[in-house]
Structure 1
Amino acid sequence: MPVVRTLSVIFIEFWRGVPLITVLFMSSVMLPLFMAEGTTIDKLVRALVGVILFQSAYIAEVVRGGLQALPKGQYEAAESLALGYWKTQFLVILPQALKLTIPGLVNTIIALFKDTSLVIIIGLFDLFSSVQQATVDPTWLGMSTEGYVFAALVYWISVLACRATASIWKSAFTPGVHRTEVYMTHSMTNSAEAMMISLENVNKWYGQFHVLKDINLQVKPRERIVLCGPSGSGKSTTIRCINHLEEHQQGRIVVDGIHLNDDVRNIERVRTEVGMVFQHFNLFPHLTVLQNCTLAPTWVRKMPTKEAEALAMHYLQRVRIAEHAHKFPGQLSGGQQQRVAIARSLCMKPKIMLFDEPTSALDPEMVKEVLDTMIGLAEDGMTMLCVTHEMGFARTVADRVIFMDRGEIVEQAPPQEFFAHPKSERTRAFLSQVIH
């Protein structure tokens, strides 16, 4: 919304660039000019308007900083679960951002509390002004310093109360030890309709960099595909285009009979049928394991809470992690988190699973537990596309292994043929590096 963004920038930059004392003068003198003739505005109301306008600009920047501090993976995970923009913001992004903004908001409130002494310039008396007036009164019995010490103590206690409240808020939003890791059908050919996934002449650019070059890929139902290749070859970009986490510029992608284009309805329909597991897990750290798994079924599939919880426990048991259902992601090991991520995707009952290097961020001893879970899915007949460097997994599970380099599919073959008799010199060079 460019208009809203522009107006917000103008508002924030203006009020942040004007001193509070000037804002108070403006609210005291100019505010009555906007009211009907004969209408009076209390001085306190004028002061409140000025202070609110001034501090709201600073609070907006604090909130923006909290939103920008969230890793991109949180948005992508929500998008992959088909939560949509508003559900993503209110269920995933804002709860986490609020926790991050609490220290900044508290500092802003404390500064605001101290700046209230400036209201004396428009004829209002704050605590210190009242003390100063009282100490010059002939009936004052104590030393003048006593009044100022008392006023300072009141301010200090008030600030302490703000900090204590902030600590309570932060505890409420941080119940566990968290770690943050650093989102109508068109006419198709008969061949595309018979395939679970069809990519035809797909091209993608990042600026001038041509990252995908005429990718053609057909995936049958229940087929298991492994994509391998050097870093930067376009493997991850290919599968991210399948659920529109990345947008392709040319070619066509059809997923389960749905033409993936700019139609938001088509994108959401595809995402409800395609599960995705990320390299860095991208679990929602403010939710328990069980809540991570029930979020999308409840809000996207409109599943009753009890039914969603039963489904989540079923898949958590399947990936052998049900005993941790009420823990938070930060309390789990990397392998456990990745298994939760797999269970979360399965709770949407997808027809297709995409794996983007699911073991590359794990310690060697944790890799096996994740691979065993993926092998179990393959044995159940799940249609799978997996980007991985685990060649043993490719030999065991894949129906077809695809080698990519420089944005192109160089070679594809069944695993026995691919590993025993690679046709391309580039494929042979790659395998000699990864197979020892």
Structure 2
Amino acid sequence: MADLAYQSGYGNMFETEAISGALPRGQCAPQVCPFNLYAEQLNGTAFTAPRALNQRSWMYKLRPSVSGQTPYQKIEAGQFSNAFSTFEVTPSQLRWRELPLPADGTQIDFVQGISTMGGIGDPTVKTGLAIYMYSCNTSMDNKAFYSADGDFLIVPQLGSLLIKTEMGRLSIEPQEIAVIPRGIKFAVYVQGDSRGYISEVFSGHFKIPDLGPIGANGLANPRDFYAPVAWYEDIDAEFTVVGKFGGELFQYTLPHSPFDVVAWHGNYTPYKYDLRNYNTMNTVSYDHADPCIFTVLTCQSLDPGTAVLDFVIFPPRWMVAEHTFRPPYYHRNTMTEFMGNIVGTYDAKTDGFVPGGASLHSCMSGHGPEAKVFEKGSTSKLEPVRYPDNNLQFMFETMFMLRIPSWALERERLDINYLECWKGLEKHFTP
């Protein structure tokens, strides 16, 4: 993957060409494009969206996207489902073991290996979200995928991914993420067993959060986001394209590769980010900081300051608060919290929350550190402590209550003893 190249910056108006001179100058769609390419615009927002919010890119392709396309055919989605009306609601605190890897001899690609863990809303009216986990072991050769429903945020936990997109290629490994916006075709290539997490937002797009009184710098800095440079395939062979539309899957075939963009310019693009570059803000006086201080990306609702989805991480950092119970505090939240463990041990749950596992704490359901963590946090010496390197967990936090599919509630996937971790929280009242 040494030949991969990237452009630094978040929200930039990029321009990139795989062949010098392939980008038109002075206009977007001349009568004849350089090298006789086709001009095609991809819009991530309405034409009339305010300039500061408008997202679009012009692509210069060997052929238009529709060239040679066969009719869409509906296909079975399996556990990659947005049929939320058939799912269940539960206030129960849930924890899942890691998703099983494909059985020996079974070839499962990225799209086939996606399993819905929860969701709400309706992608046809662009509201709500879905949370998935994936487990796969084979690459998407001569196959591509796109979602007309929303942006994909991919969080690998096991195995590196090479992601071919229309705009170029991205390589991500555990402790990195990739965002593929609505409508952009991509294919995932793996080197053996791979596993991770995905969130899809049906409303708006992910963005880096405003910093407010933090100032101009900190958290996820724009320069640490990377977009691909133009790269293309000129392949005449049958390709299958799977499209997610209205929560269902459809496919068609093309007689050529869909990754045929020779040049592009704009600000609607896939991108990657290394979570190890996150500049953590934390308390240096007293009290455990609210987890929102660790937000990497957010998709905001129309209610100011309230997220359709926040992507929050718990990274390595120094903890130095005085007179403070330093583990996460006990709480009940109007937001719903889905957590995943990428690597290491979470400081509030030292047992059971394994890398590749997940947990769900729904709106107003109580949760917090397990009993032995409470005892340790209440008696440990208050000196500077390093939340260790090679230790990283994350949270998808949403304003919505999630509905859970039946397969996510099967006993063999659930940790049915999860509530046991809070047994032993004795009364210490001393009036």
For normalisation by structure 1, the TM-score amounts to 0.26
Whichever structure has more strand as a proportion of its residues is 2
Query: Larger relative contact order (C-alpha < 8 A, sep ≥ 6)?
Result: 2
